[in-house]
Amino acid sequence: MISIVDYGMGNLRSVEKAFARLGHSARIISRPEEVSATDRLVLPGVGAMKDSMAALRTNDLVEPIKDFIQTGKPFFGICLGLQMLFDVSYEDGEHPGLGVFPGSVKKFEVSRPLKVPHMGWNSLCWKRRPPLAKQAEDGQYAYFVHSFYVAPDNPSIVAAETDYGGPFASVCWKDNVIATQFHPEKSQKLGLALLDGFARM
């Protein structure tokens, strides 16, 4: 069973519908006990780290999510769900994340004609391919909407990069955890292939 965490700030239905389109059953969950009972966990997200982490704490989901990751079961983070895996975000102050990956979340500093947020289609350059991305090709496009990006302390977890005034990590992967800065549920062929691969892990 694939479970999508509902903490009041995610693009839940579009992710659920993407799995359904691929023929995979997914459910939306919000209780701590449901996290430990699932086979695969998806952490989506939109908005700011401060508010999202506060929502996870309010719903007693922080430790269950971290415990789930420690089990080795497949985990997929989407957009803010990637950023929350890191130690700290510097969005509107300094706010702690889940601390799964060492590193920080920083704001884009770009010059014209580029704008912040980074919004729309952009391409990926794979550095190392997780099993679910074995068919992915360099140059494929994905859909992004974000003003902040992750800066991992350990570059070995960067699976793919995207250029926006310089390269940034658009996919991170270590062991059972994969997370994308882009929205796979909105990224057509590439995104659906990644979600399908995750469902089959």
Q: Give catalytic status of residue 79 as yes or no.
A: yes
Residue 201 DSSP label: -
Q: Give catalytic status of residue 118 as yes or no.
A: no
Structure tokens given for 144: 């992004």
Q: What gap in Å lies between CA 104 and CA 88, rounded to an integer?
A: 5
Q: Give catalytic status of residue 183 as yes or no.
A: yes
Sign, CA dihedral 31-35-41-46, equals: positive
Residue in 95, 118, 146, 183 annotated catalytic: 183
- In this structure, the number of other CB atoms found within 10 A of the CB of residue 103 comes to 22
Structure tokens given for 195: 């979600």
Residue in 16, 79, 95, 172 annotated catalytic: 79
Q: What gap in Å lies between CA 198 and CA 156, rounded to an integer?
A: 20
Q: What Cα–Cα distance (Å) separates residue 7 from each residue in 114, 133, 136, 153, 157?
A: 32, 28, 31, 27, 26
Residue in 16, 34, 91, 185 annotated catalytic: 185
**Cβ neighbours for 115, distance < 8 A, ≥ 6 positions apart:** none
Residues assigned a catalytic role: 79, 183, 185
